[in-house]
Amino acid sequence: MFKPLDPLLHSELRLAVMSLLISTEEAEFIYIKEQTGATAGNLSVQIDKLSSAGYIEVEKTFKGKKPCTLCRITPAGLKAFEEYVESLRSYLEVPRK
């Protein structure tokens, strides 16, 4: 009856990162940090986990002389996110007695 929820996406911060990236081509680390309210250290760890799973790509560049980290969702990440949402719906659509 209930579909399993992807434990990687079931974290509040990782889900927030994926939700931001789903609606944009790419996002800078600073933007994601501001939108989620996460600390730089915690966000960095969660981005590494998503990247290791192949859900996002991380590109380190420079804006002038300042480092800039860009994140973008991968096709595998998009599929995982869509499956997560579908699984979540199975929990919300339980018939009431």
* The pLDDT value given to residue 84: 96
The Cα 66–Cα 38 span in angstroms is 21
Of 79, 74, 26, 85, nearest in space to 50 by CA: 74
* The pLDDT value given to residue 11: 95
The Cα 79–Cα 91 span in angstroms is 19
Please report, for the chain, the start and end positions of each structural domain, with discontinuous segments joined by +.
12-86
* CATH hierarchy code of domain 12-86: 1.10.10.10
Of 54, 51, 50, 56, nearest in space to 72 by CA: 56
Q: What is the mean pLDDT of residues 35-62?
A: 97
